[in-house]
Amino acid sequence: MLTALSIRDVVLIEALDLDFGTGLGVLTGETGAGKSILLDALGLALGGRGDSGLVRHGATQAVVTASFEAPAPALAALLDDNGVEVEPGEPLLVRRVVKADGGSRAFVNNQPASATLLREIAPQLVEIHGQHDDRGLLNARGHRALLDSFGRIDTSPAARAWAAHRDAEGALAAARAEIETAARDRDWLEHAVAELTALAAQPGEEETLADQRRTMQRAEKIADDLGAIDDYLEGSDGGLARLRQAARVLERVAADHPALADALAAVDRAVIEGAVAEERLREARAALAYDPRVLEDDEARLFELRAMARKHRVQPDDLAALADELAGRLARLEAGEGGIAALEATLAATRAAYDAAADALTAARTDAAARLDAAVAGELAPLKLDAARFRTVVAPASVDNWSGAGKDRVEFEIATNPGAPFAPLIKIASGGELSRFILALKVALAERGGAATMVFDEIDRGVGGAVASAIGERLHRLAGGTQLLVVTHSPQVAARGAAHLLIAKSSDGTVTRTGVRQLSDAERREEIARMLSGATVTDEARAQADRLLETA
């Protein structure tokens, strides 16, 4: 609900602070007093065009601040999603600044915001209905939601069914795409898996083969040297044989001189070390055994591993993992073709569930449409629209427009004269008729949601007498469950207000200003009498004003 409106330097308004309460508030004043300026200022705060022409002459900027009660959870969540912090239970402040040299700024709770955000939150704060309004009730895109609200129709089962159906569609499409991609590669997959399986590469095998190859290649190079060493050490004429012979001779003469004993000990040590060398040489020959056939086999395997790795652009050690991966893809391809049938069955089941939920919505909407048509029809005659007919069209939407809200297209239509075809409200209703149709719809849709504040701009233009009284009575009834602000020229409507604001223009000969003030009971009586009689207020007009106020 709008609780306060502060206006600074907007056209003819220099400074204005207004407080608003619940119920029906009426705004009156002579033609040209500036009632439209007040609504323009409110529209500016709600994201309207920030035209520098709104800035009062001589001022540097225009500022409008609108204060609302604490926002509902849905609105608070929307603000939070847009980075605007809202303290629970705290009022919502919307401020717009327009500079005289162009450009504007917007703030929500003193935090910078875009005009786009203001326009997004505006429908949840205020509904403004005028003779040339092309939003709100006149926008067919919102008619389905209004009908659902009127009929208290729960769309959540259809929303859940639609979500499940879309998920099933996505799963089937993804599976088909994967299978289609895999199917194009089936021949390659089968060939790759076959050759990798036949190769049977093992992690670490390439390094082992490379080490063996290097060892055998080195053995080939030192084979002659090892043979020469054998000749020097082994055999009857080898070095070790001669050392042993020398040791036997020394054993016989070692006692003859100490030096001979030392020589024998040294030869014995040489024989021992020579034996060790002989053993190590045998071990080396065994390790470095060179077999041309084995080397050829190792080289062939090594080159095969490396070629396969290059072909698949992996490291040789990754060939085993690649074989497993490709075999898995091939298995999934074969299994997936069978799984498509299961996914198709799931899709069919979710489609059937959605169809049932959407059909239930259509039936509920058709029933609600009949009740809404009857409710609106009951409001037309008192508003001097008894020749008009109203209907709510519930028709199939195109498949592209199916959603969690069902398969229906909903639109409000009227025929203003007997025999005339039905058409959308905005296309065939005149200004006065359009305002009264909006009022009839709002009364029929009362207590079915919408913004907490509604503004009607001169809804009673061009009517009077009983029709004006009927409008006033319906506005009063509609205001019972919300805050309603009405700009009016009708005394019958003004008398119904719980609060009465007078908009007046004043001039000091140099500067013209527009002001607004709340009227006391006596002032209100005088203003209604002026509306009844014109420039000269008569006693008869005052008496008529009293009667209107008494019956309100």
Average pLDDT score, the chain: 85
Q: Which domain holds residue 289?
A: 187-330
- Residue whose C-alpha is closest to residue 49's, from 122, 141, 137: 122
List pLDDT tens digits, range 390-409. Answer: 999 999 999 999 999 999 99
Residue 267 lies in a domain: yes
Residue 227 lies in a domain: yes
Residue range 137-143: mean pLDDT, rounded: 80
Domains of the chain: total:
1
Residue 215 lies in a domain: yes
Residues 468-484, buried b or exposed e (16+ Cβ, 10 A)?
Answer: bbbbbbbbbebbeebbb
Lowest mean pLDDT among 436-445, 446-455, 462-471: 446-455
Residue range 107-114: mean pLDDT, rounded: 91
Distance of CA 355 to the CA centre of its chain: 26
Torsion angle of the four alpha carbons 311, 314, 318, 321, in this order, in degrees rounded to the nearest 10: -70
φ and ψ of 517, to 5 deg: -145, 150
- Residue whose C-alpha is closest to residue 124's, from 88, 92, 83: 92
Residue 193 lies in a domain: yes
List pLDDT tens digits, range 266-293. Answer: 888 888 888 888 788 777 776 666 677 8
Q: Within 10 A of 371 (CB to CB), how many other CB atoms are there?
A: 14
* CA distances (Å), origin 76, targets 73, 82, 182, 201: 5, 10, 48, 62
Residue 254 lies in a domain: yes
- Residue whose C-alpha is closest to residue 511's, from 11, 27, 7, 6: 11
Position 132 pLDDT exceeds 60: no
**Which alpha helices (DSSP H) does 126-204 contain, by range?**
143-150, 156-184, 186-199
Task: Please give the Cα distance from 75 to 55 (Å, whole number).
Answer: 30
* CA distances (Å), origin 359, targets 144, 392, 395, 398, 423: 15, 18, 12, 15, 26
Q: What is the pTM of this model?
A: 0.60
Residue 232 lies in a domain: yes
Task: Please give the Cα distance from 62 to 7 (Å, whole number).
Answer: 8
Task: Please give the Cα distance from 124 to 451 (Å, whole number).
Answer: 5
- Residue whose C-alpha is closest to residue 199's, from 187, 210, 191: 191
φ and ψ of 234, to 5 deg: -100, 175
Task: Please give the Cα distance from 186 to 191 (Å, whole number).
Answer: 9
Task: Please give the Cα distance from 208 to 320 (Å, whole number).
Answer: 16
Beta bridge partners of 41: none
Residue 298 lies in a domain: yes
- pLDDT value of residue 411: 93
List pLDDT tens digits, range 60-72. Answer: 999 999 999 988 8
